[in-house]
Structure 1
Amino acid sequence: MARLVFYHHPQAENFSLKFSSSSVAELRSQQERSNESTKLIGYPFDTPVYVLYEGDSEIESAHDIDFDKEWLSDRISDLPRAGQVVAFRLVELLEAAVEVREAEEFRLYKDFEPQKIQQALDHVSWGAPLPNVAGEVMSNLILRHSLPNANHRTGIAMLQFCIESVELDFEMPRTHVDDDTWREWVDPYIVDSKRLITIRRNNLRFKQLQELDVDLVERKDGIQIRLAEFELDMHWQEALSKYAEQHESHCTDFAQAVLERAERNDLLDRQGPTKQEFITYLEDGLIERDFRELF
């Protein structure tokens, strides 16, 4: 039977795996040196494995979301105009997603970090072929993880807006979570995306688990990562770069699949928007848009 450990603590999913050992004494020593809230789990394999989890003591409810315009303006005032526009739209998308779906499904796992939005925009190959630009917009927003939740859902919406910015009559194929279409083709892309970003941030921690003969790591939503399928033995900075490139390629493939399923192969070779064209569309082309329709 495969030896499986949880990436998020089973009773506190805001606590994530930070250290593992076959020695409970070593784990206690790590716990004493931690400046964060911690939890321990001992996995009773034939050779036991002990795991230290770190995280926040509480998860906020989506009911607590209150990004009023004055508060948001203060948070993003130092960003360039492009970052401000994208931040406003991302927050509107998050609020729409919470409104459409049951708020109980959403938890706020982290603070809003708008400065990461500008970092994402700076890593997009603006003006490249449309699937590349749209995929990189989606990928980099997901990788920077600026929102407290729903980064994948809002990333897909931004991919859609990127395509619309060069083709106003584009009709996005359904990517809603409440139908079979999602389960058929959208969800597998998101699951693989979550595997990649989890490996990207944890290659050395997962290498440590692999050395303890752990086969599988399971993150929340039941997503399993088979460690033997990934290269883990590298410097953490190399892993950040390597798996970011893989994630961008993965999201570019998703953008291409979107265009093909929409029967818009004519857009596969179309030049993508410049940054200014994309920002202008977000600012002026979505004024009357009801974002709830996207979820």
Structure 2
Amino acid sequence: MDRLVYYHHPQAENFSLTFSSASPAEIRSRREQSDESTKLIGYPFETPVYVLYEGDKEVESAHEIDFDRNWLTERIRTLPRAGKVVTFRLVELLEAAVDVREADEFRLYKEFEPQKIQQALDHVSWGGPLPKVAGEVMSNLILRHSLPNANHRTGIAMLQFCIESVEPDFAMPRTHVDDSAWREWVDPYIVDSKRLITVRRNNVRFKTLAELDVDLVERKDGIQIRLAEFELDMHWREALSKYAGLHESHCTEFAQAVLQRAERDDLLDRQGPTKQEFITYLEDGLVERDFREMF
């Protein structure tokens, strides 16, 4: 039977795995040294494994979510115009997702970090092939993880807007979470994306788990990561770079799949937008758009 540990604490999903050991004394020592709130699980394998979980923010309901425009403007006033425009659109998308999903069921897992949105835009190959540009827009927004939730769904929306910025008549295949097509082809891309970004941030921790003969790590939503399928033995900085590249390739493949599923193979070799063309479309081309239709 596979030896499985949880990445998020089963009773407190805002607590995530930070350290593991076969030594109860070592895990207690690490717990005493931690400056964060902690929880501990001992996994009763034949050779027990002890895992320390840390958390610094309570999971909140989105029932009261309200990104006041004056508050938001102050938070992003130092960003270049491109960062401001994308931030406003992402917030509108998040609010639409909350509206569609019902606020009581929508959870906020982290603080809003708009400065990371500009960082994402700085790592896109603007003007390159359309699938590459669209895939990199999606990938880098997901990797920076700037929103409290819905980073994948809003990333897919931005991929769609990137395609529309060069082909306004583009009809996006349905990617709604309540649609059977989602489970058929969109959800597997998102699941693999979440595996990649989890390994990217935790290769050293997961290497320790593998050395303790753990086979699987399960994160929230039941997504399992089989450790033997990933390269873990590298410096964490190298892992950040390596898995960012793999994630960009993964999202580029998704962009290609979107175009092919929409029967728009003619766009596979189309040049993607420049940054200014993309920002102009976000600013002027979406004025009457009801983003709830995207969720």
Deviations 1:92-124 (A, max 9, x none): 000000001122332111100000000000000
Number of aligned positions between the proteins: 295
Are 1:225 and 2:225 counterparts?
yes
Q: Which residue identity lines up with residue 132 of structure 2 in the other structure?
A: N
How far apart in 2 are the matches of 1:188 and 1:105? 22
Counterpart in the other structure of 2:123: 123
Task: Map 1:101-250; keep pairs closer than 5 Å.
Answer: 101-250=101-250
Q: Which residue of structure 1 aligns with residue 251 of structure 2?
A: 251
Q: Which residue of 2 aligns with 1:289?
A: 289
Q: Return the alpha-carbon distance in structure 2 between the equivalents of residues 53 and 137 of structure 1.
A: 32
What are the superposed Cα offsets for residues 61-113 of structure 1, whole Å, 9 maximum, x if unpaired?
11121101001000000100000000000000000000011223321111000
Letter in 2 for 1:181: A
Letter in 2 for 1:196: L
SS in 2 for 1:131: helix
Q: d(CA) in 2 for partners of 1:34 and 1:79?
A: 34
Quote the offset at 1:179 in angstroms.
Answer: 1.2
Aligned residue type for 2:93: L
Mapped partners of 1:192, 1:119: distance in 2: 23
Gaps of 5+ in 1: none
Q: TM (normalized to structure 2)?
A: 0.99
Contact 1:121 1:137 in 2 (8 A): yes
Instruction: Give CA-to-partner distance per residue, 1:34-57, whole Å, 9 cap, x none.
Output: 111100000000100000000135
- Contact between 2:57 and 2:109, CA under 8 Å: does it hold in 1? no
Q: TM-score, normalising length from structure 1?
A: 0.99
**Structure 1: which 4+ aligned runs deviate by more than 2 Å?**
none
Measured against aligned partners, the alpha-carbon deviations of 1:222-263 in whole angstroms (never above 9, x if no partner) come to 000000000000000000000000000000000000000000
Letter of the structure 2 residue corresponding to residue 123 of structure 1:
H
The corresponding residue for 1:4 is: 4
After TM superposition, list the pairs within 5 Å mapping 1:17-36 onto structure 2: 17-36=17-36
Q: Distance in 2 between matches of 1:166 and 1:119?
A: 23
Distance 1:118 1:68 in 2: 20
Unaligned regions of 5+ residues in structure 2, if any?
A: none
RMSD of the TM alignment (CA)?
Answer: 0.6
* Aligned amino acid, residue 264 of structure 1: R
Residue pair 2:57, 2:110 contacting (<8 A) in 1 also: no
Mean Cα deviation higher: 106-115 or 188-197: 106-115
SS at match of 1:45: coil
Q: Which amino acid aligns with 2:102?
A: E
Q: Is the CA contact 1:7–1:219 (under 8 Å) kept in the aligned structure 2?
A: yes
2:73 equivalent to 1:73: yes
Is the 1:37–1:57 contact (alpha carbons within 8 Å) kept by the matching residues of 2? no
SS at match of 1:263: coil
Give the counterpart letter for 1:287 in structure 2: V
Q: What letter is aligned with 2:181?
A: T
**Identity of paired residues, percent?**
85
SS of equivalent residue, structure 1 residue 171? coil
Letter aligned with residue 207 of structure 1:
K
CA distance in 2, matches of 1:96, 1:223: 25
